[in-house]
Amino acid sequence: MRAGLLAAGSLAVGVVSSTDGGRAADLDSFRAANSRHDRGRDRLFLGITELGSIWASIGASVVLVAAGRRKTAVRALAAACATWTLGQVFKKAFLRPRPYDALEDPRLLIDKPWGTSWPSSHPAVLFSFVTVASRDLGLGRAARVGLAALACSVGASRAYVGVHYPSDVAGGLLLGRAVGLAWPLGERGSCSAEKDVRR
């Protein structure tokens, strides 16, 4: 139920941001996010922005395998890959130009990525990965909140470095969370879910 609502919310963000009013609001919020910079924020966001790449998910899976969590690694990476694939389908459906293709003066801090803009794949991929992994590992609430905050920060970094609009990020976060919640439970995740129900 929650996954379906989040997925619907993601699509709603994409549709609304494609309207004239949505585009205008998105441009204003993009300029605000992209123009507020200093050396410290540049280093922070440049340092975390690629944590949402599929390659980062592969790296995290290798770490999980090395820690003896092979099943969790496979499941989380599968969710991340499914999210990435779904994101590519939506990108082709919405065909939204990147900010640096639509605007004359965006501040671009990284190389131009390929593909269109909506939704942002980086926060989507990371959020689905950490949702599945944290559930399978039975992580506590504080750890889950911290990982969700990391996914949101990676999303914010995509607008900050100039490659996505805020609505791209919002749509990606909702999509990634939806896929992560919809992903079938692993053995440990099933036990954790049962405990949550008993509480």
pLDDT band (50, 70, 90) for residue 185: confident
Q: What is the pLDDT of residue 188?
A: 58
Distance separating the N- and C-terminal Cα atoms of the chain: 20
Q: Is the dihedral of CA 124, 62, 114, 105 positive or negative?
A: positive
Question: Phi/psi at 119 (nearest 5 deg)?
Answer: -90, 170
Rg of the chain, C-alpha, whole Å? 17
Cis amide prior to 99 (ω within 30 degrees): no
Q: Quick one: average pLDDT of 14-29?
A: 94
**Amino acid of residue 34:** N
Q: What is the DSSP letter of 186?
A: -
* pLDDT tens, position by position, 102-133: 888 889 999 999 889 999 999 999 999 999 99
pLDDT band (50, 70, 90) for residue 189: low
Asked if 171 contacts 10 with a C-beta cutoff of 8 angstroms, the reply is yes
Tokens of 103: 């605007």
- Average pLDDT of the chain is 92
Task: Calculate what percentage of the chain has a pLDDT beyond 70.
Answer: 93
* pLDDT tens, position by position, 30-48: 999 998 888 999 999 999 9
Q: What is the pLDDT of residue 37?
A: 83
Residue 195 has pLDDT above 60, yes or no: no
* pLDDT tens, position by position, 59-89: 999 999 999 999 999 999 999 999 999 999 9
Residue 92 has pLDDT above 50, yes or no: yes
Topology given in CATH for the domain delimited by 2-198: Vanadium-containing Chloroperoxidase; domain 1 (1.20.144)
Rounded Cα distance, 188 and 137, in Å: 7
- Domain layout of the chain by residue ranges: 2-198
Tokens of 6: 């989040």
In the 3-class helix/strand/coil scheme, how is 83-120 assigned residue by residue?
Answer: HHHHHHHHHHHHCCCCHHHHCCCCCCCCCCCCCCCCCC
